[in-house]
Amino acid sequence: MNYYLFFPMAAFIANTMFIAFVYARRTGNPVIHSYLFYTIALNAWLFTYAFEWSFPPTPWMTWAFKILSITWFPLGTLYLEFVFTLLNKKSGILLWFFRIGTLISYLITLSTDWVIQGNIHYYWGNESEPGPLYFFVILNFVALPALIGLGILTKSFFVSGRDQKKQTGLAILGSMFAIFLSFYSEIIQVDNRGRMLSMPLAPIGIVIQSFLIFIAITRYGFLRINLEGLAVDLFRDIHDGMILVKRDRSLFFMNESAIKILGISNSVPSHFYPSDFLKGYQESPGYLSKEYEPIFNANCRGVELTRSSIELTGKENGYLFILRDITEKIEYREKIERFYSDFNKDLEIAKIAQTSAISTIFPESSKYKFYSHFQPFELVGGDFLRALERSDGKLDILFADVSGHGISSAMVAGMLSISFQLLIETNPTPKKALENIQSLLLNAVLNHHVSAIYISFDPDTKTLEYSYAGHHPILIFREGEIIPLRGVGRILLITPDTELNNYTFQLKKGDILFLYSDCLFEVRNPEGEILGYENFMLKMNEISVYTPVNILKTCIGQALAFGNGKLTDDLTILILEIF
């Protein structure tokens, strides 16, 4: 059992715990990243010690020493790089000189015996046998960059502030232990052949260095691994303002965004009271965000402030204030309000346009008379009706319901109006008219479908031709009974193909033809129940005298009564009385 193996193993375990401590608290800070690279390299070196002192087979130890030299060759350069990063100094070509020199030294070590020429068995374990360039390489590319880094760090110690000195002092002391113990035991304490006279003390130096830097971190915030340092790293580049205050409102931290948002041009205040910087601010127990106007920042039109309780340290609580410049939000809100106002005007215009596209003035004749009612659910809707007299004397009616409601449905209704006017000149059959409408609108309307009835009425013969496209039946009121006109047909624009039919019905004097939208029977009561078609028909059958006025009053009154005065869709009714 080699008891000397305890030293590198204990140092390896201790340094690994320290690495885990730093790694768990890492942020985007490049200083922490640089230091982690350095300490991980130290750990690799300690692992090499443990491997060499465990007395592995001798025949291949020389090659093992050469290959594992990669664990200690870059230590001095990595330490120098860490110092430059810590002090935010430019390294220039110096760091690159040592990087390239380290790489060349390692390649020479692998390919020749100039640096390591064998292995020596000591009482504590195996060590490499120095070649002619061994001490030259160690002094110039391991020890020298480490000593330069230590010198730069020491120089910064004398010009730094009091708090910074506490941090840097412990780091310097730890680095001195690690560097000089290694230098003394492995370079000074050797015989004239370069062989060591005593056990290397580098593992002990590394443990001392890690312990002192651990104290520097936990006590004085070295590497900025404390709450304020984390706040600086986490909140520095955040667009929102971040302010940490203690319970007495003394300022703990304020990022640059907060300074900019509040318009603080001079020194940062020692205490933070929002009422000093925001108009109308009042303390309240609620932490919900509210909007305020900054007092000192004329370029900021508004600030959204949120307050939260936060634990600053293990013994002290405070508040986190989050400030957000909402100038753009206010400007967008104003734009939205202007857009909404313009939108309402456009809706009014669209309503007028739709009303003009829907027949309110119907053809007049001694043989028939029109009655109608149109009430969109919104300012504009998707119900459509149009009645025009053809060149052959027939009366054509298109009654349709576009899915949905609002402007998009109204636009489709407008397309129906144009299509209807184009088709009527060709004197089509109802089926042909609906097929042509499908053909015209199929590629133009993507998100709506249309249920429709197309009617052609001959006033002379009183013959009614009609075709359904997914619409509920026409009702004929005749001598005390209601006759639903049979017929089926596929709804328009739901598939590329249509399934439509032509139907004929013979009207006679006194008949009342009734066309209506589904709002009359799909209306909902406050409990969400739907009236239903059967209940609608039961009410219609209660009408004692069939007159257009009675029919209109009954069906509209029933819908409003069931819906508690509210409708849930566009409502359209068209009545044609035959004389």
User: How many CB atoms neighbour CB 497 within 10 A?
Assistant: 8
Q: 159-196: buried (b, 16+ CB within 10 Å) or exposed (e) per residue?
A: eeeeeebbbbbbbbbbbbbbbebbbebbbeeeeeeeeb
Alpha-carbon dihedral sign for residues 156, 160, 163, 166: positive
357 band by pLDDT with thresholds 50, 70 and 90: low
| CATH number given to 349-578 | 3.60.40.10
For residue range 448-468, list pLDDT tens digits in order: 999 999 999 999 999 999 999
pLDDT at residue 469, as a whole number: 97
Locate the domains of the chain by residue range.
Answer: 3-225, 235-325, 349-578
Average pLDDT, the chain: 85
Measured CA to CA in angstroms, residue 204 lies from 8, 200, 201, 546, 553 at distances of 8, 9, 5, 110, 102
Mean pLDDT over residues 83-88, rounded?
82
Mean pLDDT over residues 82-103, rounded?
87
| Res 383 pLDDT > 90 | no
CA distance 196 to 189: 6
CB 340 within 8 A of CB 364: no
Q: Residue 310 is which amino acid? A: I
Type and span of the H or E element at 553: helix 548-562
Q: Is the pTM of this model over 0.85?
A: no
CA distance 241 to 72: 45
For residue range 105-116, list pLDDT tens digits in order: 999 999 999 999
CB 381 within 8 A of CB 405: yes
Measured CA to CA in angstroms, residue 369 lies from 256, 364, 365, 375, 484 at distances of 77, 7, 7, 21, 20
CATH architecture type of domain 235-325: 2-Layer Sandwich (3.30)
pLDDT at residue 566, as a whole number: 87
Nearest to 183 by CA among 146, 144, 143, 153: 143
Q: What angle do CA 101, 105, 111 make, to 5 degrees?
A: 145
| Res 198 pLDDT > 70 | yes
CB 428 within 8 A of CB 436: yes
CA distance 85 to 79: 10
DSSP H stretches of helix in 53-190: 61-68, 75-86, 92-111, 134-138, 144-159, 162-183
For residue range 324-337, list pLDDT tens digits in order: 999 988 888 888 78
| Res 252 pLDDT > 80 | no
Q: Which residues contact 562 (CB under 8 A, 6 or more apart)?
A: 523, 525, 531
More confident residue, 35 or 370: 370
Measured CA to CA in angstroms, residue 291 lies from 124, 261, 276, 506 at distances of 71, 13, 15, 70
User: Fold identical between 235-325 and 349-578?
Assistant: no
pLDDT at residue 389, as a whole number: 92
Structure-derived torsion over alpha carbons of residues 290, 295, 300, 305, reported in degrees to the nearest 10: -20
